[in-house]
Amino acid sequence: MSENPKGRYIYFDTENHDENYAYCESAFVAMDGGDEVVIRICGVGLNDDNQIVIQTEYNEENWFEPDEWTHIYCELYKFVVDNLKYAKSSEPCDDED
């Protein structure tokens, strides 16, 4: 994903019909083991340090690294493979500048 010419962040513009459909089909539930809460992941990206970051359904303005207790890497890779065409060059909040 770091070499992807379209961008390093995959998230969806839910106002776009095609992207809204992909959002509904792709978001998945995971357990954030460190906080012991259920999260719904709807975005995956690579930050400037090439670390995987995620975006959750209820906290879409913040991207964060999954903690060591969140064992979701297979799901993250599937999310990326299935949705690479929706990659964007920056985080959503960067687009507003």
Tens-of-pLDDT digits for all 97 residues of the chain?
566 666 788 899 889 999 999 999 999 988 776 667 888 889 999 888 888 888 888 877 788 887 766 667 778 888 988 999 999 888 776 544 4
The verdict on residue 73 lying in a domain is yes
- Structural domain boundaries, residue 40: 9-85
Predicted confidence at residue 93, as pLDDT, reads 63
pLDDT at 52: 87
> What is the 3-state secondary structure of 28-57?
EEEEECCCCEEEEEEEEEECCCCCEEEEEC
pLDDT at 95 (0 to 100): 45
Domain assignment present for residue 50? The answer is yes
Q: How far is CA 56 from CA 28, 37, 41, in A?
A: 9, 12, 4
* Total of domains in the chain: 1
4 part of a folded domain: no
Q: In this structure, is residue 13 part of a structural domain? A: yes
HSE-up (13 A, CA, CB side) for residue 57: 12
- Selection from 61, 84, 62 nearest residue 7 by Cα: 84
- Residue 97 placed within a domain: no
